[in-house]
Structure 1
Amino acid sequence: MLDLGYGEGTNTRLLKKGAAADVLGVDISHEMIRLAEDAEKAEPLGCRYRVADVADLSLEESFDLVVGAFLLNHASKRVDLVDFCAAIARALKPGGRFVGLNLNMAIEPEHYDDCRKYGRWQTTTAERKEGDMISVFHRNPDGSEMRLDNYYLSPETYAAAAAEAGLRDFAWIPLTVSSEGRDAFPSGYWDDFFKTPQVVGMEARK
């Protein structure tokens, strides 16, 4: 499995603890990869890491599964999105699968504040258009806030970019809450999230 652009390797390690015989994690940040390697030293699992820009990534090996959590929403232009998707296609074995998480590009800006009770909200321009920035805010348990800047491209642009890059059967996958997640909160707690879910899954095949 190949884990693209998830920083300090949290997902990489989860994949290795799951069903993956071998996992490579890639991120553009030297500091994030250092943190991932520190975690590997503290608890060796056999994860491998590499510093690289995913947009022009070309590896000597290929993978059954490529994972990209909040990777594609860093593309601000269609050409950049095609580059990301092409890198994914290059890394996959024939018939291999890509899965990821992404900002839900089908949600209109008037709903960007609907999930504030979960400690998460978004802002964008008044007249959102292709390439506009979407700022995502997270409230930490200590009350501090973190901001991550991403970009809007339409769902149609995503599907077209995936096809152009050689990925087939591109689809958006609605999220669900596990039984443990439902049991941990009062009845109806997740209802507001699923009215206008701001995060969505995605998948495609080579």
Structure 2
Amino acid sequence: MSNQYDNIGEAYNIKKELTYTLLQDANVEAVIKPYIRGARVLDLACGNGHHSRACIGWGASSVVGVDISPTMIGVARRLTTLEQIEFEVADCSKPKVYRGGEYDLVFAGWLLNYAPSGNDMTNMFRNVALNLKDGGHFVAITPHPTEDPKAHIEAMLAASEGKRGRDMYLTGFVEGGVSARVVLTPRDPKAESVGFDTYYLRKSVYEKAAKEGGFESGLAWTAISIPDGFEESLGDRKEEGLHTYVTAPPMAFMVTCKELSGSRN
């Protein structure tokens, strides 16, 4: 798994001011709500700790955030004052037992999209299963599930017309999908954009990797939506084309459960 974020560091904080991020977090809160209260959470690919801190606000009892980038973990530690959160540097694509034992909930804001192949994604699911207690849940933000990632990226670009503050561009083809470049554009025209490389694999690749990685129950997907009152809450951040987040969605929310030991064959 790439540590390209070592070259991004503090600049990644521009993400928090984007409408894209605000809408993402409103949706994550709704999806994670049934599992978060009092939960011990493992936040994989935690970056600057944004979702680690949010999980405490949403009701988690403790969080361990893990990221491959020492630079991003350094940023996370500087931005975090909550004693219920700890951070660790590790490659989330390789199975490893993290501190604290088995967790009630594993959350991955953006992890699975960094798998360049089905085999790499399977190892990510294995890592999650290794750290999740029986009956625990795995919640992830992923690209919108589709069997034609190339066409969906083209649809997103056509719909957004540069209004979202986040664009994804096709850069090549890989086993199971495509490679892409994501560019975050800050609201301040004087600030620099931030870019990073990612992968957009087919929905069937995700489903196969989940089963091979220890989640026989399969995946449930929730499409992005615009909550009631969200547009009004933006105030002067309100932007045109908010509906395109739904008509050409940049993300979806995936949930799966680790089966209880007694239910396995």
TM-score between both structures, scaled by the size of structure 1:
0.90
Q: Structure 1: which 5+ residue stretches go unaligned?
A: none
Residue by residue over 1:87-136, the C-alpha shift from the partner in whole angstroms, topping out at 9 and shown as x without a partner, is 01111100100111112242523213122311222111477862531111
User: Secondary structure of the residue that 2:66 maps to in structure 1?
Assistant: strand
Query: Do the aligned partners of 2:183 and 2:196 also contact (CA within 8 Å) in 1?
Result: yes
Matched, 1:169 2:221: no
Equivalence map 1:25-40=2 (5 Å): 25-40=65-80
Match of 1:157 in 2: 205
In 2, Cα distance between equivalents of 1:62 and 1:19 = 18
Q: 1:204 maps to what in 2?
A: 256
Change (3 A) 1:105 1:149: farther
Amino acid at match of 1:2: L
- C-alpha contact 1:8 1:32 (8 A) present in aligned 2: yes
Q: Determine the structure 1 residue equivalent to 2:178.
A: 132
Q: CA RMSD in A?
A: 2.1
Q: Which amino acid aligns with 2:257?
A: R
- Correspondence list, 1:43-122, <5 A: 43-56=81-94, 57-59=96-98, 61-106=101-146, 107=149, 108=151, 109-113=153-157, 114-115=159-160, 116-122=162-168
> Matches of 1:22 and 1:46 in 2, distance apart?
5
After TM superposition, give the deviation of residue 14 of structure 1 in Å: 1.0
Q: Aligned pair count?
A: 204
Note the C-alpha offset of 1:187: 10
Task: Structure 2: give runs of 5+ residues left out of the alignment.
Answer: 1-40, 259-265
| Structure with the largest fraction of helix | 2
Deviation of residue 18 (structure 1)? 2.3
Provide the C-alpha distance between the structure 1 equivalents of 2:209 and 2:86, rounded to a whole number of angstroms. Answer: 29
Q: Which amino acid aligns with 1:171?
A: A
Is the 8 Å Cα contact of residues 116 and 175 (structure 2) preserved in structure 1?
A: no
The percent of aligned pairs where both chains have the same amino acid is 27
Q: TM-score, normalised by structure 2?
A: 0.71
